Amino acid sequence: MRAARFDWPALMQAGMRGLGLRPAEFWALTPAELELMLGTRAGIAPLRRGGLEALMADFPDAPKDTKDE
């Protein structure tokens, strides 16, 4: 399986031209920070109560032993 490649020219253009970043500022960013600045995750909704309840039902915490030993 081959890892996904970044389109560096497009990312550099978006960061330096679109966001006005200097090269040093662009290269200092993590991919997550650049993604946040570009707004590429704006369409992903946060986890809501129903989703949390479904996760809790699928992956319950192990019961805790309440006896004093």
Is the confidence at residue 45, as pLDDT, over 70? yes
- The pLDDT of residue 54 is above 70: yes
CB hemisphere CA count around 29 (13 angstroms): 18
31, 54 contact by CB (below 8 A): no
CA distances from 7 to 1, 12, 14, 39 (A): 19, 9, 11, 17
Residue 62, both tokens:
């192990």
Rounded to two decimals, the pTM is 0.52
Q: What is the pLDDT of residue 2?
A: 66
